[in-house]
């Protein structure tokens, strides 16, 4: 029996309607920007496996760092103990995160990083005797699948059955150049009438919404307003972090820096589940007290797992290397040239590029998880290109180690899709 048939017996996959979905493809091997299925077919990983494996699959530098760590110290609980990889990682992050960040709190995936951020914001005010029960978030934002993170997410296809159990969240549209003032006025009204703890947002690029971009000047205005009114700002950089926008973090493009930042995905380069919620000194200080109950009573068993920290340290070393920085520029340049070409095609709407992210919409109506979308997905997979269209949005976020030839092959297949659909 192959993997596919054995999988069918016991496994429940995420985001899958098992009654109608095609069987998952059994993957047996991956290296750099490529992976192979059990039939021997080769695929280019066009979205770096949910934007994680940015330095390429099975990266030797990261494997070496993790193997060494595994022999030295496998795991130790992180309450009452600390270890070299966690400390070293915190020191490295402080060198590249926005200047106002001073403390890191460890979690084990993107959703739990967001969950910790939301709880931090609520308790920060609670510790001052200030009960704040509302969050502000962007329409169509996505922050994860646990209850707090899901509450902040505006993508309704995931939230349906849970709506009435969610936290109190008020949504505002993302600011575009011509709507920023309007959004600011909307935010101002909300801040005047509600007791808001935090404004949470995906800075500059909303990934799950379909790689939608918004104005950095507009977002700066919203952050400024919140911070002036004493509302904490949480940047969810789980997708955008570690080079994808062309800068180490999307927050580097902003003038006003968030109080709290969520990191995961490329943090460990796809090698280990780990996440971080970083914060400013002021947020951390809000938990200092003679009262134990003012502390942040939140923990995950695998907090700051040494293997994850070792992977993250090696990942950041790669991110900062000349070679990866040059590749990021190369991908950006090639994307920009291709986007200009796409813009001339009448089937293409809004071809856009930010860093290594390229996205556009096909001028065809498609459900997010409909039949036509699945046909488009298969079109790419049959030609060895692993990308996952979101409805009619086609996007690529390739590993930084992708070769020019592999990138050109992806563009070529996208052009074939434009002829076929």
Ligand X SMILES: Cc1ncc(COP(=O)(O)O)c(C=O)c1O
Contacts with ligand X by CB under 6 A lie at: 109-111, 114, 142-144, 202, 207-208, 236, 238-239, 264
Q: 342 or 386, CB closer to ligand X?
A: 386
DSSP notation for 307-328: HHHHHHHHHHHHHTSHHHHHHH
CA distances, 404 to each of 253, 300, 320, 353, 357 (Å)? 27, 41, 21, 17, 15
**Cβ-Cβ contacts under 8 Å for 39 (sequence gap 6 or more):** none
Q: How far apart are CA 371 and CA 22, in angstroms?
A: 11
Q: 114 or 183, CB closer to ligand X?
A: 114
Q: 246 or 384, CB closer to ligand X?
A: 246
Q: 142 or 411, CB closer to ligand X?
A: 142
In the block, which residue shows the tokens 């309607």?
17
Q: How far apart are CA 319 and CA 401, in angstroms?
A: 11
CB of 155 to ligand X, least distance (A): 11
Q: How far apart are CA 319 and CA 317, in angstroms?
A: 6
In the block, which residue shows the tokens 């290594």?
356
Q: How many CB atoms lie within 10 A of CB 6?
A: 11
Q: 394 or 417, CB closer to ligand X?
A: 394
Q: How far apart are CA 301 and CA 156, in angstroms?
A: 31
Question: CA nearest 356: which of 322, 317, 396?
Answer: 396
Q: Are 243 and 54 spatial neighbours (Cβ–Cβ below 8 Å)?
A: yes
**Distance, C-alpha 332 to centroid of its chain:** 19
Q: 262 or 407, CB closer to ligand X?
A: 262
CB of 125 to ligand X, least distance (A): 23
CB of 115 to ligand X, least distance (A): 9
Question: CA nearest 54: which of 356, 322, 309?
Answer: 356
In the block, which residue shows the tokens 């070299």?
84
CA distances, 139 to each of 215, 238, 252 (Å)? 15, 18, 23
Q: How far apart are CA 352 and CA 360, in angstroms?
A: 6
Instruction: Determine if residue 250 is left, alpha or beta; phi over 0 gives left, psi from -120 to 50 gives alpha, anything else beta.
Output: alpha
CB of 344 to ligand X, least distance (A): 31
Q: How far apart are CA 186 and CA 321, in angstroms?
A: 43
**Cβ-Cβ contacts under 8 Å for 287 (sequence gap 6 or more):** 123, 124, 127, 294, 295, 296
Q: 239 or 394, CB closer to ligand X?
A: 239
Helix (H, G, I), strand (E, B) or coil at 49: helix
Q: 175 or 286, CB closer to ligand X?
A: 175
CB of 52 to ligand X, least distance (A): 9
CB of 409 to ligand X, least distance (A): 26
Q: 114 or 233, CB closer to ligand X?
A: 114
Q: Are 214 and 175 spatial neighbours (Cβ–Cβ below 8 Å)?
A: yes
Q: Which residue is nearest to ligand X (CB)?
A: 110
Q: 140 or 236, CB closer to ligand X?
A: 236
Q: 143 or 332, CB closer to ligand X?
A: 143
The encoded tokens of residue 158 equal 């995931």
């Amino acid at each position: 029996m192959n993997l596919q048939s054995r999988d069918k017996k016991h496994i429940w996959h995420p985001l899958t309607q098992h009654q109608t979905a095609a069987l998952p493809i059994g993957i047996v091997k991956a290296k750099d920007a490529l992976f192979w299925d059990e039939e021997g077919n080769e695929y280019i990983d066009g979205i770096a496996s949910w934007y994680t494996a940015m330095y390429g699959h099975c990266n030797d530098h990261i494997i070496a760092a993790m193997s060494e760590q595994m022999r030295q110290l496998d795991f130790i609980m992180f309450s009452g103990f600390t270890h070299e990889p966690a400390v070293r990682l915190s020191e490295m992050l402080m060198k590249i995160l926005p200047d106002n960040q001073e403390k890191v709190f460890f979690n084990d995936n993107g959703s739990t990083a967001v969950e910790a951020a939301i709880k931090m914001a609520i308790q920060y005010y609670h510790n001052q005797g200030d009960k704040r029960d509302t969050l502000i978030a962007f329409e169509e934002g996505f922050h994860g699948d646990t209850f707090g993170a899901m509450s902040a997410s505006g993508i309704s296809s995931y939230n349906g059955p849970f709506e009435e159990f969610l936290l109190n969240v008020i949504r505002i549209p993302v600011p575009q150049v011509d709507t920023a003032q309007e959004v600011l006025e909307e935010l101002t009204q909300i801040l005047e009438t509600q007791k808001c703890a935090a404004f949470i947002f995906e800075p500059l690029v909303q990934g799950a919404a379909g790689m939608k971009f918004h104005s950095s000047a507009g977002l700066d205005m919203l952050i400024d307003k919140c911070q002036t009114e004493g509302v904490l700002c949480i940047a969810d950089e789980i997708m955008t972090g570690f080079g994808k926008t062309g800068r180490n973090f999307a927050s580097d493009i902003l003038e006003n820096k968030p109080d709290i930042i969520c990191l995961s995905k490329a943090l460990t380069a796809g090698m280990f589940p780990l996440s971080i919620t970083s914060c400013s000194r002021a947020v951390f200080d809000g938990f200092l007290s003679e009262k134990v109950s003012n502390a942040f009573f939140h923990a995950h068993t695998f907090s700051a797992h040494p293997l994850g920290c070792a992977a993250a340290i090696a990942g950041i070393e790669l991110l900062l290397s000349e070679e990866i920085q040059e590749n990021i520029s190369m991908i950006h340049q090639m994307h920009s040239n291709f986007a200009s070409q796409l813009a001339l095609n009448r089937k293409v709407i809004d071809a856009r590029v930010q860093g290594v992210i390229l996205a556009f919409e096909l001028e065809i109506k498609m459900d997010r998880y409909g039949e036509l979308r699945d046909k488009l997905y298969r079109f790419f997979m049959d030609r060895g290109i692993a990308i996952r269209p979101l409805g009619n949005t086609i996007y690529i976020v390739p590993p930084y180690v992708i070769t020019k030839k592999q990138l050109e092959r992806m563009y070529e297949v996208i052009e074939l899709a434009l002829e076929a659909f």
